[in-house]
Chains A and B, each alone.
Chain A
Amino acid sequence: MSDQESLGKESDDFCPRIVAFCCQRSAYRAADLAGEMHLGFPEGLDIIQVPCTGRVDLVYLLRSLEEGADGVLILACFEDNCKYISGNIRARRRVEYARKLLKELGLEEKRVAIGNLASNTPHRFVELTQAMREEIKKLGPSPLRAKQ
């Protein structure tokens, strides 16, 4: 879908582009399972597999928005369930910090978010990504996309 098509004039025509950084031990497997079960992903979702969400640096979140994402979602293991002990907690704190960086820029803080799930929760994967999509639809297209 082209920029013009996905941006659309009517809010219903707006298809948010969401980048989802997915932990390979939980979210990515849940996404895989959701695919096998034909649960259906939200349109416009770009999944990026990471070894642990603690690997997701602040600059990845900012650059995703720079490159045209309307929202960025980190999907991490449940807290206390990180293979690397605290990667998901670090990710949560980075999201909180990233929101401050967005606020400094006058962008909506909710364009960056985090959700927690397990590898055997494909329905939760769909719920979290769908909820993010709805949130971003409410916010509308990223102002950066219009100025690309």
Chain B
Amino acid sequence: MITAVRKPLNEIIEMVAPCEKILVTGCGTCVTIDYSGGAKEAAILASQLRIARRLGGKKLETLEQTVERQCEWEFVKEFTDHAAECQAIISMACGAGIQTVAAAFPDKPVFPGVNTRFIGMPQKQGVWEERCICCGNCVLHLTGGLCPFARCAKTLLNGPCEGSQDGKCEVNRELDCVWQQIYDSLKERGRLADLQKIFPLRDWSTGEDGGYRITVREDMML
């Protein structure tokens, strides 16, 4: 899932300062699961903004609406009626959702309600960890199912650095060294021979360094 955290309240208060009526939108997919931007979080933010405005002696009207996914046109269109009543939209979706809403409503200011953090998974209830940096050229079949790009502070691809000690990362001793984990994982799977393979210099053009990426599936196009 894509994970996010709520933006600091003061930043959002500043964004909506000129507005008297706003639409606070939640997204029903990733940010609902990680409790950062679903219907409940939209309701909490709307309440906080109303309270903050009232403490300043003024009034803020809010509408709230959550759709299944904000990163698809057909869902964000559902905001049309509410958006027409409001001066601005706060999107509590990930960056993709916020941009979809901004593109769908070009006549309205669209403000981010969250900071998008990473693609990850809930390690346990209430704790999310990064797992994927969308590099566009997956190596998980050779690394025991653990991504060295997402989980090594130095994105090393041919084993650990010298700073790896007692299975911990030198950049942050609270983090596990992923190369230690890769070794353990391959050993458990009887695939230590995979470590003999040397990765050549990596072509990062499949990742974010090649400009923004577009996937085309002609068979799916209408």
Interface stretch (choices A13-21, A98-106, A121-129)? A98-106
Q: Map CB proximity to A onto B45-80 as digits: 1 under 8 Å, 0 otherwise.
A: 001101110110100000000000000000000000
Expressed in whole angstroms, the minimum distance between the Cβ of A42 and any Cβ of chain B is 25
Q: A59-B43, A59-B47 are in contact. Are A147 and B9 (CB under 8 A)?
A: no
* Interface residue? A58 (CB, 8 A): yes
Q: Map CB proximity to B onto A52-76 as digits: 1 under 8 Å, 0 otherwise.
A: 0000011100110110000000000
* Interface residue? A40 (CB, 8 A): no
* Interface residue? B44 (CB, 8 A): yes
Evaluate contact between B44 and A144: CB separation under 8 angstroms: no
- Taking CB atoms, residues of chain B closer than 8 Å to A140 are none
Evaluate contact between A147 and B57: CB separation under 8 angstroms: yes
* Interface residue? A35 (CB, 8 A): no
Residue of B nearest to A57 (CB): B40
The secondary structure that dominates the B interface is helix
- Taking CB atoms, residues of chain A closer than 8 Å to B10 are 104
**Residue of B8, B10, B54 contacting most chain A CB atoms (<10 Å):** B54
Evaluate contact between B48 and A62: CB separation under 8 angstroms: yes
Evaluate contact between A59 and B44: CB separation under 8 angstroms: yes
Evaluate contact between B54 and A101: CB separation under 8 angstroms: no
Chain A, 134-148, CB within 8 A of any chain B CB:
143-144, 147-148
Evaluate contact between A143 and B44: CB separation under 8 angstroms: no
Q: A101-B48, A104-B9, A105-B48 are in contact. Are A147 and B54 (CB under 8 A)?
A: yes
Number of chain A residues whose Cβ lies closer than 8 Å to a Cβ of chain B? 16
- Taking CB atoms, residues of chain B closer than 8 Å to A107 are 51, 55
Chain B, 1-54, CB within 8 A of any chain A CB:
8-10, 40, 43-44, 47-48, 50-52, 54
Q: A105-B51, A144-B54, A147-B57 are in contact. Are A62 and B44 (CB under 8 A)?
A: yes
Q: A57-B40, A58-B40 are in contact. Are A66 and B47 (CB under 8 A)?
A: yes
- Taking CB atoms, residues of chain A closer than 8 Å to B43 are 59
Expressed in whole angstroms, the minimum distance between the Cβ of B95 and any Cβ of chain A is 23
- Taking CB atoms, residues of chain A closer than 8 Å to B47 are 59, 62-63, 66
**Residue of A58, A105, A144 contacting most chain B CB atoms (<10 Å):** A105
Q: A105-B9, A147-B57 are in contact. Are A65 and B40 (CB under 8 A)?
A: no
Evaluate contact between B55 and A105: CB separation under 8 angstroms: yes
20 A-B residue pairs with Cβ-Cβ distance under 8 Å, sorted by A, are A58-B40, A58-B44, A59-B40, A59-B47, A62-B44, A62-B51, A66-B50, A66-B51, A66-B54, A101-B44, A104-B8, A104-B9, A104-B48, A105-B55, A106-B55, A107-B51, A144-B54, A144-B55, A147-B54, A147-B57
Q: Which residues of B contact A (CB under 8 A)?
A: 8-10, 40, 43-44, 47-48, 50-52, 54-55, 57
